[in-house]
Amino acid sequence: MSPSVKVKERIALGTKTERKLEKIDVLDKGYVRLVDVMGDDLRVVNAARVSYAKESKQLSDKDIRLIKFLAREGHTSPFRHAMLSFEIYAPLMIARQWWKYVVGSDHVMDAWNEASRRYITMEPEWYIPDENAWRSKPDHSKQGSGEPVDRAIGREATQRLKRQLEEGLKDYEWALEAGIAPEQARLLLPSAYGMYTPWYWTASLQSVAHMLNQRLAHDAQAEFQAYARAVYELVKPYFEHSLAELLKNKEI
């Protein structure tokens, strides 16, 4: 079994323990998998109550009111005592936007580890929109997108993208077969924004909520919105009350 196949198998299945955890498929080949959770709504409550040397054993109505107060008044430190780890497989255009949430956060509270083509030759995959998925430029904004383009234009865009990727992949495979080091051969890959990359993201509940607040917004890129919704669905069962308050007024 080649290294690339082993890597793909690990990414798709994980260990026996990891297979029990939840995973949501996104786009054509991507996914979000919840790897680990540290804490729940009660963890948030007790992180706040320790200031008064108190502790709740079970979540009560009084505790829920405390969560509402913490979120409403901007007392966010208790939400940073709950942590979540995800494995994400997404196009580079999503990964590089997502990375901003690590750069803009306290690095003690966020971690990011991504697969490196310096060390592995995992089989490249790309996000290829079908002819109905291409969107027009919005009329009154420099970012985002508008209505779907004409199907004939979408069909042409998909064909052009496939043609570029096929040619670039041939060049990359030629370089590897010619004995060029993978860390240089990757220069020949069509590393377009649609190329998939896998990474682990570990973040506090507050950091996760910050990302969701921005990327569930109606004007966020549609593909990122899809990943944000997957994260939301995976997190919600563990932090029902905290997430509801941190995402107040957010239509999901």
Mind listing the pLDDT tens digit for each residue in 133-167?
Answer: 888 887 776 667 878 889 999 999 999 999 989 99
User: Residue 224: is its pLDDT beyond 90?
Assistant: yes
Confidence of residue 51 (pLDDT cuts 50, 70, 90): confident
Active site residues: 215
CA–CA dist 205, 23 (Å, integer): 18
pLDDT of the residue at 103: 66
Q: Are 230 and 24 in contact (CB under 8 A)?
A: yes
Query: What is the value of pTM for the model shown?
Result: 0.80
The residue-averaged pLDDT of 79-84 equals 94
Give the contacts of 195 (CB within 8 A, at least 6 positions apart). 91, 92, 124, 125, 126, 127, 189
Q: Which of 47-56, 76-85, 169-178, 201-210 has the lowest mean pLDDT?
A: 47-56
CA–CA dist 180, 178 (Å, integer): 6
Q: Are 101 and 185 in contact (CB under 8 A)?
A: no
Q: Are 195 and 128 in contact (CB under 8 A)?
A: no
Question: What tokens does 162 get?
Answer: 């496939």
More confident residue, 127 or 247: 247
CA–CA dist 110, 207 (Å, integer): 8
